[in-house]
């Protein structure tokens, strides 16, 4: 085997598979990522991208073995995988809509608050108080860093999708995982904001030193960020390698990209983009 | 065989009830807790017309059935439809309010003089009181005696069921109803008049309920003052659940079967309580084993759990303003003085009453923790209180344990039973869980509180030191401790996690929150609080049996919490005072004022002021604060985005955030 030793990988998954009834949604997918690496996942709708994330983070009990760092997390509950260093964002970035931004960040500090147990918080004992005030401080810092100052006491449901996305990333930062799974960070936000995602995600990666695995339909964003791209179709890996190799792979072209060069190169915001899953800006509605 | 026939007569009530429940669920996606009351209303109209107004039987029958159908239509149009987009819990609780309102309507109808000139709340039973279209010589069949009323039930019941089934299957309204039950958005887009179809379903449900009640009233009896028994409702509900809330025919069949079972169990054991447990088991098993419509629709709709906007604190500048702090301090002193001096100024009965209100407040707060924060719909809080009351009484009276030891044991057992109740809750959500907890409340009163190993003598000793004043202060202490602990909870990790789990369990899991443990913690905490209050409750009244801890009050408590404002501690307490206080102090004005206040008040609040009374109170606080401090209290909602495009510059500071230098004490750093 020419792959790196599991111990040096931030994430390694072997033979991930799952069937829903008769449908083989994922079939023997291998995926690995080194610390600091950005891996892109592409594929048409129904290829199994989100299902793969669900298997990796434990929301769906799939086949195969999964390691985070050198810890095997196969069969573990999602919250234990999170504790092992696996962070994840969701496509809709719904977060907790009756909470304020600040409270959401506190919730994200969960993994750093093991000392604040039921009994100590019930009686307001010192371990709980210290953990709480520490969490509050780092949440405040994060609010400042991400420019969320004006939104600190806003409810999540009052925010636009773009802002929720930032809060979501801030939560990931607070969690400080060693592997981050991002499910379509550009969905539901405007073109210009999506362009800003590239440097933001790089910074996030640099800061955490984590492996970043992202699903993305925005080809320019994906190809610009990813050091390695995995193309999925109907639950199988059809191509894997450097971005420029994968986009030229005949099967990828046939199944997903089509032969329109517009699809993979960034063009003016108003140009028609045949294969892109971008919704018009909904952010300004609320 | 004879018993089977008798059981089928009884089962007809369950069966027709189940059908009505399914119909209403199909149209409004809610379990109509007022369904039985629709029928009871028709019976009351019938009685009034035939006995008080001496009308012809058939004419009276027609008027009663029509009035019940019209009432159902009004309810659907004026209440349910307005609330269609509300969370299911609110809708469910609105039907409790509807039920209370119908009871009031029923009570103001002229009542026939009871035979023998007894008081007007007499219990009517048997064909000699209730009108029948014809009478026959009773026929003896094995161990049962069948009269005209039984034959009517056996013939008319199935005919009604058949008519409803045929209607659903073949009429265009029936098909439209089935379509909108499957997917209401799609049905609407296809041009189905969803509203009219829904009203139609309610009318049919109302008419079915009326016919069922009228043919069954001579057999199972009818009381003009009491609510239609929850145990019967649970039997209907179990049948409806077994039919997955979608098949009217199955619901009818299972309902009949449960009636037969009831009769057999009663014959063998001489008690009907055992059936309550069976019913509870049927509900639990069908819900846990099948992924039926309930589960699907409920989880899809419940995901947007949003009772109302949470109450926000004052902005920091206002809260720290010296004049405002002074006001708060004065207000606090005033309140404290009132609470402490009250028992010395009031008479014994008033003080005792206040103590019970404090205890109900504790139970209401326990419901807030479980339902408001953790999002676990519970319609069985009072039964959890009963666990503490009944078992605690046994510990004191039979086991002769010291009072405080028994208190702690009772509270602990409450937590334990709540934990057991929480286990199915891990797989159920929303309405399904509400049904399970209501089933628990009914089964607890019907069975658990009757078991020799659980219940003592049914009486509770009041320790010598427990004068009414002491009782008041102990209740007060329990409430204060509850408020202190739950507030500490709400502001810190575990309480926050509960709300996170309620809002978005998947996201919570992804952040490493142990969702299962968080949910169970809510159950245990709420069980402990409720049982502690229940223990003191039975100490106060000296009784500890199922008559004290019946299931109806569980429903009242959750409506009180909603009236007060679901989700806030003060809301729970305000709700408890409203619910307990109005009947107590208003009884002189009208005996119905309690029902009217909780019934109509509930509906008005739910429709006009979804935040509950707490919203009014806090609105008042905000106005007062801005008047005193002269500052603007409203937090401006600026609907803007800090566009992602502006961020990269701001993020330069990110590199300066050293992860190891973060002031985090735990060793969880990678």
- pLDDT, one tens digit per residue, over A86-107 is 999 888 888 888 888 998 999 9
Six token digits for residue B222 = 């009818």
CA distance B36 to B248: 17
Flag if A206 and B309 touch (Cβ within 8 Å): no
Tell me what the mean pLDDT of segment B146-154 comes to.
78
Chain A within 8 Å of B1 (Cβ-Cβ)?
A: no
pLDDT for residue B558: 87
Six token digits for residue B573 = 């307490």
In the predicted structure, residue B2 carries a pLDDT above the cut 90: no
pLDDT for residue B271: 67
CA distance B21 to B251: 9
Please, what's the b/e burial string for B140-162 (b: 16 or more CB within 10 A of its CB; e: otherwise)?
eeeebebbbbbebbeebbbebbe
CA distance A49 to chain B (A): 17
Flag if A203 and B654 touch (Cβ within 8 Å): yes
Six token digits for residue B395 = 């510990």
Flag if A189 and B495 touch (Cβ within 8 Å): no
Tell me what the mean pLDDT of segment A245-274 comes to.
66
Q: What is the C-alpha R_g of chain B?
A: 27
In the predicted structure, residue B531 carries a pLDDT above the cut 90: yes
**In chain B, which residue's Cα lies nearest the Cα of A196?**
B645
pLDDT for residue B463: 81
pLDDT for residue A61: 85
CB distance B490 to B374 below 8 Å: no
**In chain A, which residue's Cα lies nearest the Cα of B493?**
A116
> What distance separates the 2 farthest-apart alpha carbons in chain A?
65
CB distance B275 to B15 below 8 Å: no
pLDDT for residue A104: 92
CA distance A283 to chain B (A): 7
Nearest residue, CB atoms, A134 vs list B639, B640, B665: B665
Chain A within 8 Å of B655 (Cβ-Cβ)?
A: yes
Name the residue among A175, A184, A204, A188 with its Cα closest to residue B641.
Answer: A188
Q: How far is CA B136 from CA A280, B64, B152, B271, in A?
A: 76, 24, 11, 30
pLDDT for residue B297: 43
- In this structure, of B66-70, B117-121, B653-657, the range with the lowest mean pLDDT score is B117-121
Sheet containing strand A38-42, strands side by side: A86-88, A179-183, A211-215, A38-42, A228-233, A236-241
CA distance B403 to B465: 11
User: In this predicted model, which residue has the larger pLDDT, B629 or A276?
Assistant: B629
Q: What are phi and psi of A180, to 5 degrees?
A: -120, 125
Tell which of B492, B508, B518 to mutate to test the A interface (max A CBs under 10 Å). B492
Nearest residue, CB atoms, B503 vs list A98, A124, A203: A98
Flag if B666 and A112 touch (Cβ within 8 Å): yes
Six token digits for residue A1 = 């085997």
CA distance B87 to A87: 31
Flag if A124 and B488 touch (Cβ within 8 Å): yes
Six token digits for residue B314 = 């004052």
Name the residue among B450, B417, B144 with its Cα closest to residue B274.
Answer: B450
Taking the domains of chain B in order of start, what are their residue ranges?
2-270, 349-626
In the predicted structure, residue B668 carries a pLDDT above the cut 60: no
- pLDDT, one tens digit per residue, over A115-169 is 666 777 677 677 777 888 888 888 888 888 887 888 888 888 888 888 888 899 8
pLDDT for residue B410: 93
CA distance B634 to chain A (A): 12
Chain A within 8 Å of B669 (Cβ-Cβ)?
A: yes
Name the residue among A173, A54, A172, A158 with its Cα closest to residue A96.
Answer: A158
Tell which of B365, B369, B508, B641 to mutate to test the A interface (max A CBs under 10 Å). B641
Chain A within 8 Å of B506 (Cβ-Cβ)?
A: yes
pLDDT for residue B664: 33
CB distance B52 to B112 below 8 Å: yes
In the predicted structure, residue B649 carries a pLDDT above the cut 80: no
pLDDT for residue A195: 80
- In this structure, of A112-126, B266-280, B460-474, the range with the lowest mean pLDDT score is A112-126
Count of all residues that appear for chain A in the document = 286
Rounded to 5°, the CA angle B597-B601-B605 comes to 160
Six token digits for residue A138 = 């780092």
Chain A within 8 Å of B310 (Cβ-Cβ)?
A: yes
**Sole residue written with tokens 């055992």:** B274
Q: How confident is residue B123, by pLDDT bands cut at 50, 70 and 90?
A: very low
Q: How confident is residue B115, by pLDDT bands cut at 50, 70 and 90?
A: very low
- What part of B 196-215 touches A (C-beta under 8 Å)? none
Six token digits for residue B443 = 């089964």
pLDDT for residue B189: 81
Chain B environment of A107 (Cβ under 8 Å): 496-497, 500, 508, 511, 513
CA distance A20 to chain B (A): 15
In the predicted structure, residue B631 carries a pLDDT above the cut 80: no
Tell which of B318, B507, B646 to mutate to test the A interface (max A CBs under 10 Å). B507
Q: What are phi and psi of B313, to 5 degrees?
A: -75, 170
CA distance B79 to chain A (A): 26
Tell me what the mean pLDDT of segment A223-252 comes to.
89
Flag if B647 and A59 touch (Cβ within 8 Å): no
In the predicted structure, residue B638 carries a pLDDT above the cut 50: no
Chain A within 8 Å of B651 (Cβ-Cβ)?
A: yes
The ipTM assigned to this model is 0.84
Nearest residue, CB atoms, A162 vs list B492, B510, B644: B644
The percentage of chain B sitting over the pLDDT mark of 70, rounded to a whole number, equals 83
DSSP code for B229: P
Name the residue among B404, B451, B418, B376 with its Cα closest to residue B525.
Answer: B418
Looking only at the bridges linking them, the beta strands covering A228-233 and A236-241 are antiparallel
Tell me what the mean pLDDT of segment B584-608 comes to.
77
- In this structure, of A259-273, B237-251, B598-612, B642-656, the range with the lowest mean pLDDT score is B642-656
Q: How confident is residue B442, by pLDDT bands cut at 50, 70 and 90?
A: confident
Q: How confident is residue B223, by pLDDT bands cut at 50, 70 and 90?
A: low
CA distance B29 to B194: 13
In the predicted structure, residue B532 carries a pLDDT above the cut 80: yes
- pLDDT, one tens digit per residue, over A13-25 is 999 999 888 888 8
What number of C-beta contacts closer than 8 Å exist between A and B? 209
Torsion of CA A209, A215, A218, A219, to 10 degrees: 80
In the predicted structure, residue B302 carries a pLDDT above the cut 80: no
Flag if A171 and B639 touch (Cβ within 8 Å): no
Flag if B665 and A130 touch (Cβ within 8 Å): yes
**In chain B, which residue's Cα lies nearest the Cα of A149?**
B642
In the predicted structure, residue B417 carries a pLDDT above the cut 90: yes
Q: How far is CA B452 from CA B66, B395, B456, in A?
A: 47, 13, 7
**Mean pLDDT estimate for chain A:** 81
**Which strand (E) or helix (H) includes residue A14?**
strand A11-20
Q: Which residues contact B536 (CB under 8 A, 6 or more apart)?
A: B359, B407, B471, B474, B475, B478
Per CATH, B2-270 and B349-626 having the same topology is answered yes
User: In this predicted model, which residue has the larger pLDDT, A241 or B399?
Assistant: A241
User: In this predicted model, which residue has the larger pLDDT, B661 or B276?
Assistant: B276
Number of neighbours of residue B23 by Cβ within 10 angstroms: 30
pLDDT for residue B647: 47
CB distance A26 to A16 below 8 Å: yes
In the predicted structure, residue B438 carries a pLDDT above the cut 50: yes
CA distance A6 to A31: 11
State the pTM of this model.
0.84
Flag if B659 and A98 touch (Cβ within 8 Å): no
- Among A128-132, B199-203, B299-303, top mean pLDDT goes to B199-203
- In this structure, of A59-73, B219-233, B379-393, the range with the lowest mean pLDDT score is B219-233
What structural domains and CATH numbers belong to chain A?
Answer: 1-85+177-286 (3.40.50.300), 94-176 (no CATH)
Tell me what the mean pLDDT of segment A19-33 comes to.
87
Ranges of beta strands (E only) in B230-299 are none
In the predicted structure, residue B23 carries a pLDDT above the cut 50: yes
In the predicted structure, residue B142 carries a pLDDT above the cut 60: yes
CA distance B317 to chain A (A): 14
Q: What are phi and psi of B663, to 5 degrees?
A: -75, 60
pLDDT for residue B492: 83
Flag if A206 and B655 touch (Cβ within 8 Å): yes
In the predicted structure, residue B243 carries a pLDDT above the cut 70: yes
In the predicted structure, residue B228 carries a pLDDT above the cut 60: no
pLDDT for residue B418: 94
Six token digits for residue B377 = 């719909």
CB distance B532 to A161 below 8 Å: no
Q: How confident is residue B220, by pLDDT bands cut at 50, 70 and 90?
A: low
In DSSP terms, which residues pair with A96 in a beta bridge? none
Give the rounded distance of the alpha carbon of B188 from its chain centre: 31
Q: Which fold has domain B349-626?
A: ABC transporter involved in vitamin B12 uptake, BtuC (1.10.3470)
Nearest residue, CB atoms, A145 vs list B489, B648, B657: B657
Tell which of B633, B634, B647, B653 to mutate to test the A interface (max A CBs under 10 Å). B647
Q: How far is CA B560 from CA B82, B578, B591, in A?
A: 21, 7, 19
- In this structure, of A7-16, B262-271, B442-451, the range with the lowest mean pLDDT score is B262-271
pLDDT for residue B257: 86
pLDDT for residue B653: 44
Nearest residue, CB atoms, B510 vs list A88, A117, A176: A88
Q: How far is CA B73 from CA B18, B81, B201, in A?
A: 19, 11, 9
- pLDDT, one tens digit per residue, over B343-386 is 888 888 889 999 999 999 999 999 999 988 888 888 899 999 99
How many CA atoms, within 13 angstroms, populate the side-chain half-sphere of residue A184?
20
Looking only at the bridges linking them, the beta strands covering A179-183 and A11-20 are unpaired
Q: How confident is residue A259, by pLDDT bands cut at 50, 70 and 90?
A: low
Sign of CA dihedral B190, B194, B196, B201: positive
- pLDDT, one tens digit per residue, over B497-530 is 898 888 888 899 999 898 888 999 999 999 999 9
User: In this predicted model, which residue has the larger pLDDT, B146 or B309?
Assistant: B146
Count of all residues that appear for chain B in the document = 670
CB distance B579 to B598 below 8 Å: yes
**Which strand (E) or helix (H) includes residue B623?**
helix B613-629
CA distance B396 to chain A (A): 28
CA distance B651 to B624: 41
**Mean pLDDT estimate for chain B:** 79
Flag if B499 and A98 touch (Cβ within 8 Å): yes
**Which strand (E) or helix (H) includes residue A22?**
none
Chain A within 8 Å of B663 (Cβ-Cβ)?
A: yes
Tell me what the mean pLDDT of segment B167-187 comes to.
80
pLDDT for residue B416: 94
Q: Which fold has domain B2-270?
A: ABC transporter involved in vitamin B12 uptake, BtuC (1.10.3470)
Nearest residue, CB atoms, B646 vs list A85, A147, A190: A147
CA distance B518 to B500: 10
Q: How confident is residue B474, by pLDDT bands cut at 50, 70 and 90?
A: very high
User: In this predicted model, which residue has the larger pLDDT, B58 or B524?
Assistant: B524
CA distance B394 to B404: 13
- What part of B 553-582 touches A (C-beta under 8 Å)? none
Tell which of B374, B666, B669 to mutate to test the A interface (max A CBs under 10 Å). B666
């Amino acid at each position: 085997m020419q792959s790196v030793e599991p111990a040096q990988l931030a994430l390694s998954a072997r033979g991930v598979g799952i069937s829903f009834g008769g449908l083989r949604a994922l079939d023997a997918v291998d995926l690995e990522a080194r610390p600091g690496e950005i891996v892109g996942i592409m594929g048409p709708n129904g290829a199994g991208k989100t299902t793969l994330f669900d298997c990796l983070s434990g929301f769906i009990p799939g086949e195969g073995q999964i390691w985070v760092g050198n810890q095997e997390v196969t069969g573990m509950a999602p919250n234990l995988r999170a504790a092992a260093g696996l962070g994840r964002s969701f496509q809709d970035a719904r977060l907790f809509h009756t909470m304020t931004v600040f409270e959401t960040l506190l919730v994200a500090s969960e993994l750093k608050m093991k000392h604040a147990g039921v009994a100590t918080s019930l009686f307001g004992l010192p371990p709980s108080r210290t953990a709480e005030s520490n969490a509050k401080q780092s949440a405040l810092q994060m609010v400042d860093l991400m420019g969320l100052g004006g939104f600190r006491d806003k409810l999540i449901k009052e925010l636009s999708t773009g802002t929720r996305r930032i809060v979501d990333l801030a939560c990931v930062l607070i969690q400080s995982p060693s592997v981050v799974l991002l499910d379509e960070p550009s969905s539901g936000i405007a073109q210009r904001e999506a362009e800003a995602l590239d440097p933001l995600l790089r910074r996030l990666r640099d800061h955490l030193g984590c492996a970043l695995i992202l699903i993305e339909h925005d080809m320019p964003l994906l190809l610009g960020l990813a050091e390695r791209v995995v193309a999925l179709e109907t639950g199988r890996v059809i191509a894997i390698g450097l971005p420029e190799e994968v986009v030229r792979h005949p099967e990828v072209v046939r199944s997903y990209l089509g032969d329109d060069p517009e699809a993979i190169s960034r063009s003016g915001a108003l140009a028609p983009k045949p294969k892109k899953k971008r919704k018009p800006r909904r952010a300004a509605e609320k | 065989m004879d018993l089977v026939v008798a059981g089928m007569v009884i089962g007809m009530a369950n069966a027709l009830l189940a059908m009505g429940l399914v119909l209403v669920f199909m149209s409004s996606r809610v379990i109509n807790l007022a369904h039985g009351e629709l029928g009871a209303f028709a019976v009351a109209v019938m009685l009034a017309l035939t006995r008080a107004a001496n009308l012809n039987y058939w004419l009276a029958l027609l008027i009663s059935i029509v009035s019940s159908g019209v009432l159902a239509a009004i309810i659907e149009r004026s209440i349910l439809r307005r609330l269609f987009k509300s969370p299911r819990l609110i809708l469910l609780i609105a039907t409790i309010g509807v039920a209370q309102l119908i009871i009031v309507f029923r009570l103001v109808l002229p009542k026939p003089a009871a035979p023998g000139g007894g008081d007007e709340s007499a219990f009517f039973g048997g064909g000699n009181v209730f009108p029948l279209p014809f009478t026959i010589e009773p026929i003896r069949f094995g161990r049962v005696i069948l009269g005209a009323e039984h034959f009517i039930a056996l013939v008319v019941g199935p005919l009604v069921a058949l008519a409803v089934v045929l209607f659903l299957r073949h009429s265009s309204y029936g098909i439209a109803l089935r379509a909108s039950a499957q997917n209401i958005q799609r049905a609407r887009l296809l041009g189905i008049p969803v509203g009219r179809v829904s009203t139609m379903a309610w009318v049919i449900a109302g008419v079915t309920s009326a016919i069922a009640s009228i043919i069954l009233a001579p057999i199972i009896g009818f009381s003009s003052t009491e609510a239609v028994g929850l145990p019967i409702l649970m039997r209907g509900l179990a049948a409806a659940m077994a039919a997955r809330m979608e098949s009217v025919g199955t619901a009818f069949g299972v309902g009949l079967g449960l009636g037969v079972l009831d009769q057999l169990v009663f014959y063998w054991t001489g008690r009907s309580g055992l059936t309550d447990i069976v019913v509870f088991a049927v509900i639990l098993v069908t819900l846990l084993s099948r992924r039926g419509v309930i589960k699907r629709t409920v989880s899809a709709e419940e995901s947007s759990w949003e009772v109302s906007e949470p109450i926000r604190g004052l902005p920091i500048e206002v809260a720290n303003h010296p004049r405002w702090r002074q006001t708060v301090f004065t207000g606090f002193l005033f309140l404290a003085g009132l609470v402490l001096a009250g028992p010395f100024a009031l008479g014994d009965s008033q003080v005792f009453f206040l103590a019970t209100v404090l205890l109900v407040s504790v139970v209401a707060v326990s419901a807030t923790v479980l339902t408001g924060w953790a999002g676990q719909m519970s319609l069985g809080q009072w039964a959890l209180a009963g666990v503490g009351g009944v078992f605690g009484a046994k510990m004191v009276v039979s086991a002769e344990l010291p009072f405080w030891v028994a208190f702690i044991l009772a509270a602990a057992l409450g937590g334990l039973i709540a934990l057991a109740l929480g286990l199915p809750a891990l797989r159920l959500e929303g309405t399904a869980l509400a049904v399970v907890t209501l089933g628990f409340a009914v089964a607890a009163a019907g069975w658990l509180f009757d078991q020799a190993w659980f219940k003592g003598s049914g009486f509770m000793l009041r320790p010598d030191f427990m004068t009414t004043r002491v009782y008041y202060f102990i209740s007060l202490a329990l409430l204060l401790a509850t408020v202190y602990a739950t507030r500490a909870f709400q502001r810190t990790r575990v309480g926050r996690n509960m709300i996170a789990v309620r809002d978005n369990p998947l996201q919570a899991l992804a952040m490493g929150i142990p969702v299962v443990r968080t949910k169970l913690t809510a159950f245990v905490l709420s069980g402990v609080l409720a049982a502690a209050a229940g223990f003191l409750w039975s100490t106060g009244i000296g009784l500890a049996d199922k008559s004290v801890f019946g299931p109806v009050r569980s429903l009242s408590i959750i409506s009180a919490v909603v009236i007060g404002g679901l989700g806030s501690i003060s809301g729970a307490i305000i709700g408890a005072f409203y619910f307990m206080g109005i009947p107590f102090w208003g009884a002189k004005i009208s005996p119905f004022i309690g029902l009217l206040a909780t019934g109509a008040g509930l509906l008005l609040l739910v429709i006009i002021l979804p935040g509950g009374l707490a919203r009014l109170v806090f609105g008042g606080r905000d106005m007062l604060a801005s008047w005193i401090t002269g500052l603007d209290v409203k937090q401006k909602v600026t609907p803007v985005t800090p566009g992602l495009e502006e961020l990269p510059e701001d993020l330069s500071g990110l590199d300066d955030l050293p992860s190891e230098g973060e002031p985090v004490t735990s060793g969880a750093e990678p």
